[in-house]
């Protein structure tokens, strides 16, 4: 076996830097209440991870509630300020699918945000939490009759209609119920953004939304005409969502300009100035040290100037703007705490023609509590959480305990060489799309979620029990 080196491994991806101090935390990856304490442990608002693990077990999703709330407020304040003189302010809808439970729904409402749901279940969570129905949106590309009826019955503020088919069905259901459905139309402006780039295409080849190609004569135009004609539809405005993990505001700006142009065409054709424009979510966060998200204020000011210029050029009043951040609020607010178990080192042929060691550290969770690395090849970071170490950092791969060789949590990270059984590892930025995508694969029970506020930890979702694994089985 090749001796390990106390420097960067040739097996490491180019973006991964060898840490000067492997005990140091990269601030932007962590919730604001997270620090390494004097005892060497990672702590949230002063609560050490060893105590949290002892009290609640591992894997454990540790959510800094104050951080979550602060991020929600940051979006609300930044966008309200930037758009104040344009349209009086912005409605910020938290995208519930990123992390939703009744507690989170209440936090969002308390911080003055609204809530987007994407299914009957998410709608139920919002309603059970007591969120004002007028502040709830319902999304989905294939809403069932039951979901649409429930939304109408509850009196949600908007139903975001995804297709002509759905528009007709919703109009029927609303008419039968003797009510009027408040509708936003989801359009696909041909802008797809991811990280630092966006691409603009004329045609849409995806399941979501009404295509804008052909303009008023196309699908989106037909939907507008039908919605305006339907007595049981109150067409509030247009919506788009151009992607996820977007760092630059340019893509949002191009989409906004396109939709504003379409609003002007609608006004010219139908004599109707639709009142609302939703620019969607997808604001990026830092999963690794090389991710560079912009503060909400930057995105807000850039977007406001695009919208201002477009409205002047098109000689139109600025519609009421809304946005739908999900991960940018919930993602960085939490980390997942795991206990390390089996460790092994393999040797791998490197790009330099030599062999090099790669360390595998197995933990007590995996793709059942965070499937994003498997689903999207998402990169994460990791830190030794229960102590510091003075041993050298070695290239490591943190893997789960599932029966899949693809069950990777952190593909590449430098961890101290002595990390092993019984150590606690923390993976930051797991607040979004981890709990909400979690499963019982291999009959693992889903982790508890602990929220820390004002220095106190509170279980908001308890760990699933073994009995619950069998709760749906008949004939037991
Ligand atoms: C998923 C989604 C969002 C939120 O995306 P994030 O990347 O979590 O900000 C917003 N709007 C719609 C329509 C979505 O589908």
Q: Catalytic site residue 403? A: yes
CA distance 474 to 466: 16
Phi, psi of 255 (to 5 degrees): -65, -45
Out of 325, 357, 380, a domain closes at 325
Residue 282 lies in a domain: yes
What percent of the chain has pLDDT above 90? 95
pLDDT band with cut points at 50, 70 and 90 for residue 4: very low
Q: What is the CATH number of the domain that holds 395?
A: 2.40.37.10
Give residue 158 CA to ligand 1 midpoint distance, Å: 16
Q: Per-residue pLDDT tens for 387-398? A: 999 999 999 999
Domain region containing 370: 27-65+332-464
Residues 246 and 143 in one domain: yes
Question: How distant, in Å, are the alpha carbons of 136, 142, 172 from that of 123?
Answer: 8, 15, 21
Q: Whose CA is nearest to atom 10 of ligand 1?
A: 281
Give residue 421 CA to ligand 1 midpoint distance, Å: 38
Residue 14 lies in a domain: no
Residue 187 lies in a domain: yes
Residues at CB less than 6 angstroms from ligand 1: 95, 97-98, 139, 241, 244, 280-283, 324-328, 432
pLDDT at 476 over 90: no
Out of 287, 305, 325, a domain closes at 325
Residue 307 lies in a domain: yes
Residues 303 and 208 in one domain: yes
Which atom in ligand 1 lies closest to the alpha carbon of residue 326?
A: 8
Q: Identify the pLDDT of residue 6.
A: 63
Residues 195 and 308 in one domain: yes
Residues 220 and 350 in one domain: no
Residue 135 lies in a domain: yes
Give residue 350 CA to ligand 1 midpoint distance, Å: 38
Residue 77 lies in a domain: no
Residues 136 and 213 in one domain: yes
**Which of 446, 343, 333, 335 lies closest to 398, judged by CA?**
343
Which atom in ligand 1 lies closest to the alpha carbon of residue 433?
A: 8
Residues 336 and 320 in one domain: no
What percent of the chain has pLDDT above 70? 99
Give residue 452's region: left, alpha or beta (phi > 0; psi -120 to 50). beta
Give residue 468 CA to ligand 1 midpoint distance, Å: 30
Q: Per-residue pLDDT tens for 243-290? A: 999 999 999 999 999 999 999 999 999 999 999 999 999 999 999 999
Residue 376 lies in a domain: yes
Of all residues in the chain, what percent are helix, strand and coil, respectively (each to 5)?
30, 25, 40
Which atom in ligand 1 lies closest to the alpha carbon of residue 327?
A: 8
Residue 335: alpha-carbon gap to chain centroid: 14
Pocket of ligand 1, candidates 75, 92, 116: which has the most ligand atoms within 8 Å of its Cβ, to mutate? 116
Out of 260, 290, 325, a domain closes at 325
Q: What is the CATH number of the domain that holds 176?
A: 3.20.20.10
**If you count them, how many residues does the chain have?**
476
Residues 372 and 337 in one domain: yes
Which atom in ligand 1 lies closest to the alpha carbon of residue 243?
A: 7
Residue 207 lies in a domain: yes
Q: What average pLDDT does the segment 321-337 reach? A: 98
Pocket of ligand 1, candidates 138, 207, 281, 323: which has the most ligand atoms within 8 Å of its Cβ, to mutate? 281
Residues 413 and 268 in one domain: no
Residues 378 and 301 in one domain: no
CA distance 472 to 469: 8
Residues 35 and 121 in one domain: no
Q: How many domains does the chain contain in total?
A: 2
Residue recorded with tokens 């693990």: 53
CA distance 354 to 314: 62
Residues 364 and 305 in one domain: no
Q: Per-residue pLDDT tens for 6-23? A: 689 999 999 999 999 999
**Which of 47, 27, 28 lies closest to 37, judged by CA?**
47
Residues 171 and 202 in one domain: yes
Q: What is the pTM of this model?
A: 0.97
């Amino acid at each position: 076996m090749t001796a390990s080196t106390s420097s960067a491994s040739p097996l490491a991806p180019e973006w991964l830097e060898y840490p000067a101090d492997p005990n140091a935390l990269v601030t932007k990856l962590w919730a604001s209440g997270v620090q390494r304490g004097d005892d060497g442990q990672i702590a949230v608002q002063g609560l050490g991870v060893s105590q949290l693990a002892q009290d609640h077990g591992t894997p454990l999703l540790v959510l800094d509630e104050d951080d979550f709330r602060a991020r929600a407020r940051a979006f609300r304040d930044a966008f309200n300020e930037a758009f104040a003189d344009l349209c009086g302010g912005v409605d910020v809808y938290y995208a519930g699918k990123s992390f939703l439970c009744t507690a989170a729904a209440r936090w969002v409402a308390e911080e003055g945000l609204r809530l987007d749901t994407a299914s009957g279940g998410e709608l139920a969570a919002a309603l059970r939490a007591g969120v004002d129905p007028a502040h709830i949106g319902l999304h989905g590309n294939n809403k069932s009759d039951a979901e649409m009826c429930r939304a109408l019955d509850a009196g949600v503020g908007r139903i975001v209609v995804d297709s002509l088919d759905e528009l007709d069905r919703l109009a029927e259901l609303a008419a039968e119920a003797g009510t009027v459905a408040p509708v936003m139309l989801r359009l696909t402006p041909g802008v797809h953004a991811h990280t630092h780039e966006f691409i603009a295409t004329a045609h849409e080849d995806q399941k979501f939304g009404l295509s804008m190609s052909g303009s008023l004569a196309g699908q989106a135009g037909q939907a507008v005409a039908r919605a305006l004609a339907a007595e049981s539809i109150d067409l509030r405005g247009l919506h788009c969502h151009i992607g996820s993990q977007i760092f630059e505001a340019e893509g949002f700006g191009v989409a906004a300009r396109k939709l504003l142009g379409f609003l002007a065409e609608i006004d010219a054709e139908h004599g109707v100035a639709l009142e609302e424009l939703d620019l969607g979510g997808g604001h990026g966060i830092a999963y690794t040290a090389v991710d560079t998200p912009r503060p909400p204020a930057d995105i807000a000011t850039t977007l406001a100037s695009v919208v201002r210029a477009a409205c002047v050029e098109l000689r139109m009043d600025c519609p009421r703007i809304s946005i739908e951040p999900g991960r940018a609020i919930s993602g960085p607010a939490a980390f997942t705490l795991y206990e390390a178990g089996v460790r092994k080192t393999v040797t791998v042929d490197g790009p330099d023609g030599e062999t090099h060691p790669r360390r595998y550290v197995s933990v007590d969770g995996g793709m059942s509590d965070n499937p994003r690395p498997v689903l999207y090849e998402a990169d994460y970071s990791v830190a030794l959480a229960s102590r510091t170490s003075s041993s050298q950092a070695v290239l490591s791969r943190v893997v789960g305990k599932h029966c899949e060789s693809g069950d990777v949590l952190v593909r590449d990270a430098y961890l101290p060489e002595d990390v092993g059984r019984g150590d606690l590892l923390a993976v930051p930025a797991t607040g979004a799309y981890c709990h909400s995508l979690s499963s019982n694969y291999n009959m693992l029970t889903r982790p508890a979620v602990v929220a820390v506020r004002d220095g106190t930890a509170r279980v908001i979702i308890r760990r699933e029990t073994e009995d619950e694994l069998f709760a749906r089985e008949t004939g037991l």
